[in-house]
């Protein structure tokens, strides 16, 4: 199918008020199997988070992936993934799309295809209220400071490039940045706005430090494996529609993320 036919499908869908549902390899399989497989990171608070007590999945992209499946008239199946395994999970066909606020990084763009952005976030620092080493942003890149990042997140290459004096600590699962910080093995960890909500909502010991000026603002989008332009166009149509009809705004508001959506 040529791109001109894809565009005609989008125009027809917009005129008729119907979802664009043209044929494509992934769409054909989704319709045939009646299931949409969505990769998520189940530890991403506010985005795709599995509650440790109830095991229920909640978050902005849980709501939106369910909405996408509803448009396609299939059921959604959430597949556990992570930023470390993201590329392998998509290219090995474990899922049809990754919907967990995936940062659009050059190294990921070499391996994956991305929709238009639907959110963007800067990098933030989290430390403890009792920490005397890091009190403000300018304290982070100093000799002797241990700065943690979650391995595989976009903060890892950014901080590796930006830090000149502090020591970068890459935290690999099952270890967590929070436990490393609470144990005193690191002084601060770097995260994004959605994940910072977890600490602000649940940890009375945590202190958020925002950069005094934009530090490294990154767009977030949905990701797929290369090679299926029809599927990418269908996802782009979905992102455009949730921006237009208010579903993106509502899902973000439900989880305190409305300030970082791309309208």
The answer to whether 124 and 116 have CB atoms below 8 angstroms apart is no
Instruction: Give how far the C-alpha of residue 185 lies from the chain's centroid of Cα atoms, to the nearest Å.
Output: 27
How many structural domains is the chain composed of? 2
Task: Report the alpha-carbon distance of residue 225 to residue 169 in Å, rounded.
Answer: 30
Query: Residue 120 half-sphere exposure, CB side, CA atoms within 13 Å?
Result: 10
Q: List pLDDT tens digits, range 177-229.
A: 999 999 999 999 999 998 888 888 888 899 999 999 999 999 999 999 999 99
Domain identity same for 13 and 52: yes
* Helical (H) or strand (E) element with 107: helix 106-109
Domain identity same for 45 and 129: no
Domain identity same for 157 and 174: yes
CA distances from 225 to 99, 149, 166, 222 (A): 13, 26, 36, 11
Does a structural domain hold residue 241? Answer: yes
Q: List pLDDT tens digits, range 80-131.
A: 999 999 999 999 999 999 999 999 999 999 999 999 999 999 999 999 999 9
Q: List pLDDT tens digits, range 9-45.
A: 444 344 334 344 344 799 999 999 999 999 999 999 9
* Residues facing 219 on adjacent strands: 120
Please count the residues of the chain.
263
Cis peptide upstream of residue 94 (ω within 30 degrees of 0): no
Q: What is the pLDDT of residue 173?
A: 83
Average pLDDT for the chain:
90
pLDDT above 70 coverage of the chain, percent: 91
Does a structural domain hold residue 214? Answer: no
Range of the domain at 190: 123-209
Domain identity same for 81 and 168: no
The answer to whether 156 and 190 have CB atoms below 8 angstroms apart is no
Domain stop point among 191, 209, 227: 209
Q: For residue 260, what pLDDT band results from cuts at 50, 70 and 90?
A: very high
Q: What is the pLDDT of residue 160?
A: 97
Does a structural domain hold residue 250? Answer: yes
């Amino acid at each position: 199918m040529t791109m001109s036919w894809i565009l005609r499908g989008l125009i027809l869908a917009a005129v008729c008020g119907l979802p664009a549902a043209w044929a494509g390899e992934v769409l054909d399989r989704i319709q045939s199997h009646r299931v949409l497989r969505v990769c998520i990171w189940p530890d991403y608070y506010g985005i795709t988070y599995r509650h440790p007590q109830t095991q229920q999945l909640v978050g902005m992209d849980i709501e939106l992936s369910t909405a996408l499946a509803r448009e396609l008239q299939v059921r959604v199946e959430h597949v556990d993934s992570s930023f470390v395994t993201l590329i392998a999970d998509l290219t090995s066909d474990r899922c049809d799309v990754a919907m967990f606020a995936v940062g659009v990084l050059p190294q990921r763009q070499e391996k994956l295809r991305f929709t238009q952005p639907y959110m963007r976030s800067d990098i933030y620092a989290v430390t403890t209220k009792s920490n005397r080493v890091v009190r403000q942003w300018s304290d982070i890149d100093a000799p002797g400071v241990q700065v943690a990042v979650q391995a595989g997140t976009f903060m890892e290459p950014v901080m590796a490039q930006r830090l000149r004096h502090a020591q970068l600590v890459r935290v690999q699962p099952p270890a967590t940045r929070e436990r490393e910080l609470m144990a005193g093995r690191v002084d601060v960890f770097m995260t994004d706005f959605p994940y910072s909500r977890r600490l602000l909502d649940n940890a009375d010991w945590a202190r958020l430090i925002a950069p005094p000026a934009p530090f490294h603002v990154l767009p977030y989008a949905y990701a797929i494996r290369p090679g299926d332009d029809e599927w990418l166009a269908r996802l782009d149509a979905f992102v455009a529609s949730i921006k237009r009809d208010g579903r993106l705004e509502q899902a973000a508001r439900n989880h305190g993320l409305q300030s970082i959506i791309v309208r």
